Amino acid sequence: MRKIRASPKGPEFIKYLHEFVSESIGEKGLNVLLSMGDGATDEIIEQKTKYKIAEIRSLLNHLHSYGFVEYTREKNMQNGWFTYTWKSNRDRSMQNFLMIKKKEVERLRSGISSEEGAVFYKCTKGCSRMNFDFAMEHKFRCPTCTKDLKYLDNKEELKRAEIRIKAIQKILESKSALATIENGFSPKI
């Protein structure tokens, strides 16, 4: 097998990772992640982002549940409180990202194969969508609101799905993705 020597922390990796974080947590989540550097406490993140501390904690929990960040905690012996230091967990983030993208491709592919060549009808109000047999059974009227059913051209939808698959495949076949897989791709999510 061909040996891939790309660094899983190269600029391409970072770009996908940032897109993934902002898709899953939002722009504010990404800003919190970017403010951490090599390690930061809640207070440092607060100074850098100017977000409210309650919002930062909620974003941190969110980031942690996705595996984007990890933390260490230290007990203050005088008051007994814990100080949390956060930093990003890039390898796990990238693994989760690749897993989700692979699932998306599978979902799109099975969607395409079940829709290709099929004829669909849609309620003009948008409350139902069905195949030809079902539409005929209902005399081409919506079973929910009784409005007329209209022939639905799904060619554009299929084309969009194909384009999306190609875009994801480009990511999955990128050097940084392959390097991440080689460096221990484990389907943990």
> Which residue type occupies 122?
K
Per the rule left: phi > 0, alpha: psi between -120 and 50, beta: everything else, 136 is: alpha
Q: Which stretch binds Zn ion (CB under 5 A): 88-96, 130-138, 146-154, 155-163?
A: 146-154
**Does 52 help bind Zn ion (rule: CB under 5 A)?**
no
Contacts of 136 (CB under 8 A, 6+ apart): none
Give the number of residues in contact with Zn ion, rule: CB under 5 A: 7
**Does 149 help bind Zn ion (rule: CB under 5 A)?**
no
Task: Return d(Cα 10, Cα 124) in angstroms, integer.
Answer: 49
Rule CB under 5 A: choose which of 53, 119, 136, 145 binds Zn ion: 145
- In angstroms, what is the minimal distance from the CB of 139 to Zn ion? 13
Between 9 and 129, CB nearer to Zn ion: 129
Task: Return d(Cα 177, Cα 18) in angstroms, integer.
Answer: 14
**Does 127 help bind Zn ion (rule: CB under 5 A)?**
yes
The DSSP annotation for 30-54 comes to: HHHHHH-TT-EEHHHHHHHH---HH
Between 127 and 163, CB nearer to Zn ion: 127
Residue with the CB atom nearest Zn ion in the bound state: 142
Q: Which stretch binds Zn ion (CB under 5 A): 37-45, 88-96, 111-119, 134-142?
A: 134-142
- In angstroms, what is the minimal distance from the CB of 138 to Zn ion? 10
Does residue 180 contact residue 94 with C-beta atoms inside 8 Å?
A: yes
Question: What's the N-to-C CA distance of the chain in angstroms?
Answer: 27
Residues that bind Zn ion (CB under 5 A): 123, 125, 127, 142, 144-145, 147
